[in-house]
């Protein structure tokens, strides 16, 4: 049996109603900042629970434009998670700012107890990363941010509809940055991103910033970027967004099934499932002994397991200038050696999950080394 990682063929291959919407859209010629984008932004804001949403080119740009809006400039320090994907750090570095890493805890998110000691006079923003479908403890983080009057931009790219006490990711701070990448929980056919906010001032500025700073065709208010969400992708988003809650719920159901069937394997540890935290499982990650051999075994059996991520950002060549050592982030370092990800998407069958579970059991029962 093959258990694939990408589910895009299943999601979009038999969608005649979507193709009809796309055909109708092509006939309009409304290709740039068109009506489907306006419709999508309103739907997305309603889904997340904010007043405004601004469609942009990518999740990376969603973070970057949010930071730009609060005035991040070269030499500023921006605190973020040590174990994030490159996009978070790239957005910071594009503005000439310096990423200041904080180690994670076993939820894979920033350990908020370590944040305060990282704050300096140069700290101008905090970017918590809601990693893998978890959420950073925003209750604790916001207390710190408020104490030092530091703006917060939530990197919620992997956690659409995750929540704490039923309050969604992206709504805990001035900005929530989301990704619509093809392998995210809400996905389009190319790159795409969304910024959510409750501030009309920020909303108006972001709309200028994503479109060259243009007020209209002939008037430029500020120097901006070419970072519009493609209206074609907005059509796809409008088709998919009614299924958003169903998608999240199915991923949660799949993760719970994994948990129940893997938790009794001695060599497997399930990450904490925190009370009142809704985890939406962009990724299903567990801790595994002899991880590299397990990964190799799963791949040979046809299971597209992965590691997110085997080399943390602070050890990447691009970050050499920060001069970090492995010992600077012991939890992230430990995770890099022990975590493994299994497919958990809404199209995964029970038969496929059972095959993953039995393969893991067989690996440890045979004590393969």
Q: What is the pLDDT of residues 30-40, one digit of tens each?
A: 999 999 999 99
- CA distances in angstroms from 274 to 7, 88, 159, 315, 361, listed in the order given: 28, 24, 15, 29, 26
The model's pLDDT over 311-330, given as tens digits with 9 standing for 90+, comes to: 999 999 999 999 999 999 99
Phi and psi at residue 228, to the nearest 5°: -80, 145
The Cα 219–Cα 99 span in angstroms is 35
Shared domain for 334 and 362, answered yes or no, is: yes
2 is a domain residue: no
Shared domain for 251 and 215, answered yes or no, is: no
Domain endpoint, select from 243, 278, 310: 243
The model's pLDDT over 169-180, given as tens digits with 9 standing for 90+, comes to: 999 999 999 999
Domain endpoint, select from 210, 243, 276: 243
Phi and psi at residue 150, to the nearest 5°: -110, 125
Q: Which residue has the tokens 């419709």?
A: 39
Shared domain for 347 and 231, answered yes or no, is: no
pLDDT confidence of residue 368: 65
3 is a domain residue: no
Q: Domain with 238 in it: what CATH number?
A: 3.40.640.10
The model's pLDDT over 46-67, given as tens digits with 9 standing for 90+, comes to: 999 999 999 999 999 999 999 9
1 is a domain residue: no
Shared domain for 287 and 172, answered yes or no, is: no
pLDDT confidence of residue 369: 61
Could you give the number of structural domains in the chain?
A: 2
113 is a domain residue: yes
Shared domain for 205 and 68, answered yes or no, is: yes
For residue 187, pLDDT over 90 is answered with: yes
Shared domain for 128 and 207, answered yes or no, is: yes
Check if the beta carbon of residue 176 is closer than 8 Å to that of residue 197: yes
Helix, coil or strand: residue 22: helix
pLDDT confidence of residue 13: 86
Domain endpoint, select from 184, 218, 243: 243
Query: Domain range holding 334?
Result: 244-366
């Amino acid at each position: 049996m093959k258990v694939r990682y990408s589910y895009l063929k299943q999601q979009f291959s038999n969608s005649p109603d979507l193709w009809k919407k796309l055909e109708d859209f092509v006939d309009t010629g409304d290709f740039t900042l068109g009506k489907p984008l306006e419709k999508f932004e309103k739907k997305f804001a309603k889904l997340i629970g904010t007043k405004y949403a601004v469609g942009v080119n990518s999740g990376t740009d969603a973070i970057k434009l949010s930071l730009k809006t609060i005035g991040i400039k070269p030499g500023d320090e921006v605190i973020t998670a040590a174990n994030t994907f490159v996009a978070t750090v790239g957005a910071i570095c594009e503005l000439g700012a310096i990423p200041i890493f904080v180690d994670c805890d076993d939820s894979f998110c920033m350990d908020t107890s370590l944040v305060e000691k990282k704050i300096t006079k140069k700290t101008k923003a905090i970017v918590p990363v809601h990693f893998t479908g978890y959420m950073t403890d925003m209750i604790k983080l916001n207390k710190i941010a408020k104490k030092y009057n530091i703006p917060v931009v939530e990197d919620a790219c992997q956690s659409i509809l995750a929540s704490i006490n039923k309050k969604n990711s992206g709504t805990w701070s001035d900005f929530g940055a989301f990704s619509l990448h093809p392998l995210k929980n809400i996905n389009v056919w190319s790159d795409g991103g969304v910024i959510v906010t409750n501030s009309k001032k920020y909303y108006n500025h972001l709309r200028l910033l994503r479109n060259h700073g243009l007020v209209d065709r002939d008037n430029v208010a500020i120097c901006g970027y070419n970072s519009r969400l493609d209206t074609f992708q907005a059509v796809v988003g409008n088709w998919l967004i009614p299924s958003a809650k169903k998608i999240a719920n199915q991923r949660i159901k799949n993760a719970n099934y994994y948990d129940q069937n893997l938790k009794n394997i001695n060599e497997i540890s399930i990450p904490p499932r925190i009370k009142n935290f809704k985890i939406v499982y962009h990724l299903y990650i567990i801790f595994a002994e002899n991880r590299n051999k397990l990964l190799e075994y799963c791949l040979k059996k046809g299971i597209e397991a992965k590691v997110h991520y085997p080399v943390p950002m602070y050890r990447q060549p691009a970050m050499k200038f920060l001069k970090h050592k492995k010992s600077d982030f012991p939890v992230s370092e430990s995770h890099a050696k022990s975590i493994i990800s299994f497919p958990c998407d809404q199209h995964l069958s029970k038969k496929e999950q059972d095959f993953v579970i039995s393969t893991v059991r067989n690996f440890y029962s045979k004590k393969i080394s």
